[in-house]
Chains A and B, each alone.
Chain A
Amino acid sequence: AQKITQTQPGMFVQEKEAVTLDCTYDTSDQSYGLFWYKQPSSGEMIFLIYQGSYDEQNATEGRYSLNFQKARKSANLVISASQLGDSAMYFCAMREGWAGTALIFGKGTTLSVSS
């Protein structure tokens, strides 16, 4: 079974609109971390936001917020007021257990922002 599922291969949004990128995860660990990364065409992985499994409040970082629904095992990324520069591939990732383990990535969602 996939640990991280991103069901939207591609999403399209207009500038200044909000967009939600879906992510569901599967783990039996009580302690885990959820991450979102942006990967532009250059290939670099840009860290956007982090949510720990014990965090009671949803994480926010500027225009990015993470809609964490633990019971549903979902960790959707919300980007408010989209910009042209937001066009990129977005990956949801999970780290299970202790902090030294590797990230497991979903298949990614390509976001295209148009003017």
Chain B
Amino acid sequence: GAVVSQHPSRVICKSGTSVKIECRSLDFQATTMFWYRQFPKQSLMLMATSNEGSKATYEQGVEKDKFLINHASLTLSTLTVTSAHPEDSSFYICSARGTANTEAFFGQGTRLTVV
């Protein structure tokens, strides 16, 4: 299957700082990328959908000014958690889909801990 690389896999940051998470499609052009958040032992909750070159569409309850999503190219999307707080600690995972794909392929996920 297609490869999606997410970086970093783990990050610890101080409260009030910002963290950027990258999601790259390595062998296909990702026209659409999805960002999910997962709390321990819970399901994946969709945060936002982004299409290359346009603004992301955020799910209800997700603060767009706090979770900045950029999808400037067909192989890269970034999620920036701004002014992170301990309650933002979670597992963040992206998935990417190309025009020819039935399924969306997932990155490895990023475990964010805010201290």
Contacts and interface: CB of A to CB of B under 8 A. Distances in A.
B66 to A, nearest CB: 20
B103 A47 contact: yes
Contacts, number: 56
A25 interface: no
A33 B102 contact: yes
Q: Is the interface of B mostly helix, strand, loop or mixed?
A: strand
Interface string B101-114: 11111101101000
Nearest to B1: A47
A45 interface: yes
Given A91-B43, A106-B43, A43 B109 contact: yes
A106 B45 CA distance: 10
B44 interface: yes
B78 interface: no
- What interface size band does chain B fall in? 20 to 34
Given A43-B108, A43-B109, A44-B106, A100 B44 contact: no
B93 A45 contact: yes
A58 B90 CA distance: 36
B75 interface: no
Interface of A: 33, 35, 37, 42-45, 47, 50, 52, 89, 91, 99-108, 110
Given A99-B101, A102-B34, A43 B43 contact: no
B60 to A, nearest CB: 13
Given A43-B108, A44-B108, A35 B103 contact: yes
A106 B44 CA distance: 8
A49 B104 CA distance: 12
9 contacts: A45-B109, A47-B103, A47-B106, A91-B44, A100-B32, A100-B97, A103-B44, A107-B42, A110-B41
Given A89-B41, A100-B97, A107-B43, 20 more contacts: A33-B103, A42-B108, A43-B38, A43-B111, A44-B106, A44-B109, A45-B93, A45-B109, A47-B103, A47-B106, A50-B102, A50-B103, A52-B102, A91-B44, A102-B34, A102-B46, A102-B49, A102-B104, A103-B104, A105-B43
